[in-house]
Amino acid sequence: MLNENIVFHPHHVNKEERAAIKDQKPCILWFTGLSGSGKSTIANAVESVLHKRGKHTYLLDGDNIRMGLNKGLGFSDEDRIENIRRIGEVAKLFVDAGMIVLTAFISPFRNERDMVRSLVEKGEFIEVFIDTPLEVCEQRDPKGLYKKARQGEIQNFTGIDSPYEAPLKPEIAIKNDKISVEEVVRQIIDHLETKGYLYA
Ligand SMILES: Nc1ncnc2c1ncn2[C@@H]1O[C@H](COP(=O)(O)OS(=O)(=O)O)[C@@H](OP(=O)(O)O)[C@H]1O
Ligand SMILES: Nc1ncnc2c1ncn2[C@@H]1O[C@H](COP(=O)(O)OP(=O)(O)O)[C@@H](O)[C@H]1O
């Protein structure tokens, strides 16, 4: 619902000024991929490296969001769309705060990922496709959810009876089987350095 009595207030301190004292270019590292593909593991490992380098980061992932802000949302297409919409808005606020924000959600629909991309400025959205074959994710099955989905105990499970639309032109695509987590982290940090996100 639009409220015409709400007026946007410009801030005295802007995004560039906030980012400048952090020696970094704010951005969203948007991890997407199937359940069990490795999003959370890699996002955590990348955040650790950035943190050790003195960068100001924040990781948004499934547990902290679906247990709090998005408590009550399930896994219908409609709820997933709303889940990503809210996460996108939160990520945008972190970018405005000058941070490097990492997000680790399946985010199965191209439309919603593109919508988040459109919320921020060019270059501020880095789509990281964690491309792990379904068979490998299903074999890993760290939470036993694929087993439950195959047995019909969970409905609308991504890759089983709910779609996953792979990114068409992600900034970074990682084939996350037959590669070590350390090597993946190296590739992502290398991208950030080459593209000028880390000033020191
Ligand atoms: N039906 C169904 N489909 C997919 N995933 C399910 C489902 N039910 C529960 N889970 C668990 O929830 C995690 C995915 O939540 P997300 O918020 O990332 O999903 S989405 O982006 O809204 O599609 C996902 O976590 P990850 O394994 O870390 O991806 C699962 O552990
Ligand atoms: N490059 C990799 N090689 C081997 N195992 C991996 C790799 N990346 C992640 N894993 C493992 O895969 C499983 C799922 O990873 P997780 O980060 O929980 O995935 P997601 O967040 O996408 O559901 C975990 O047991 C993790 O240790």
- The ipTM (two decimal places) reads 0.99
| Domains of the chain: total | 1
pLDDT tens digits along 26-74:
999 999 999 999 999 999 999 999 999 999 999 999 778 999 999 999 9
> Quick check: is 53 in a domain?
yes
The answer on pLDDT for 100 being more than 80 is: yes
Q: What is the mean pLDDT of the chain?
A: 95
Percent of the chain with pLDDT over 70: 99
In a domain, 200, yes or no: no
CB of 156 sitting under 6 A from ligand 1: yes
Q: Domain for residue 1, yes or no?
A: no
3 in a structural domain: no
pTM of the model: 0.96
Across the chain, the runs of DSSP E, i.e. the strands, are 27-32, 57-61, 100-104, 125-131, 172-175
- Determine whether the shortest distance from the Cβ of 170 to ligand 1 is under 6 A: no
Does the Cβ of 38 fall within 6 Å of ligand 1?
A: no
Q: Residue of the nearest CA to atom 3 in ligand 2?
A: 180
Q: Which residue range forms the structural domain that includes residue 92?
A: 15-194
Ligand 1 pocket mutation, candidates 32, 34, 35, criterion most atoms within 8 A of CB: 35
Instruction: Please report, for the domain that includes residue 140, its CATH number.
Output: 3.40.50.300
Question: pLDDT tens across 102-149, in order?
Answer: 999 999 999 999 999 999 999 999 999 999 999 999 999 999 999 999
- Which residue among the candidates 48, 107, 118, 180 is catalytic per the annotation? 107
> How distant is the alpha carbon of residue 86 from its chain centre?
12
Give yes or no for a contact between 18 and 97, defined as CB atoms under 8 angstroms apart: yes
User: Does 118 participate in catalysis according to the annotation?
Assistant: no
The answer as to whether 137 is a domain residue is: yes
Asked whether residue 118 is domain-assigned, the answer is yes
* In the chain, % of residues over pLDDT 90: 88
Residue 62 CB–ligand 1 contact under 6 Å: yes
